[in-house]
Amino acid sequence: MNPRQVADYMFEQDYFSQWMNIKMIEVKENYCLLEMPIKKEMLNGLKTVHGGVTFAFADSALAFSSNSSGDAAVALNCIINFTKAGKEGDVFRAESILENNTRKTAVYDIKITNQNNELVAKFVGTVYKIGKKVTEL
């Protein structure tokens, strides 16, 4: 399977990403660009996007990019810095780029921006390669 087919295969089973209404804009090996509209249900008590939603969106980008070769990888460590509050009606984009790759781990840099290309959050995710194919899980 090519990277897009792997991502489509994973997305079919990823009900949480479906619930968030994530759209895959581009998927290549070790890279993806996703888009997600911000719904009312994603807001916190301050009427801004809940941090967990932003984190989950970045985590989905990490999953699709780090598994794009067909070799399964799972999150080992993730950190996020929130730089701008999101609001209902915003459209978030997540771009995940491979920064470092070893035999057993890889590090991805993920930028979350809004429809005005303003940085909403910066996420760094480290994955562990589990030695199985995505289709074996």
| Residue 117 Rama label (left phi>0; alpha psi -120 to 50; beta) | left
* Structural domain total, the chain: 1
Distances (CA, A) of 18 to 4, 15, 56: 16, 5, 12
User: What residues form DSSP beta bridges with 23?
Assistant: 35
Q: Minimal CA–CA distance to 24: which of 83, 46, 14?
A: 14
pLDDT value of residue 23: 98
Q: Is the pTM of this model over 0.85?
A: yes
pLDDT value of residue 86: 98
CATH code for the domain of 48: 3.10.129.10
Round to whole Å and give the CA distance between 70 and 136: 10
pLDDT value of residue 64: 98
pLDDT value of residue 123: 98
With tokens 């070893």, the residue in question is: 102
pLDDT value of residue 38: 98
pLDDT value of residue 57: 98
Q: Minimal CA–CA distance to 98: which of 67, 135, 133, 55?
A: 67
Which of the residues in the chain have pLDDT under 70?
Answer: none
Contact 109, 96 (CB under 8 A): yes
Domain that holds residue 8: 3-136
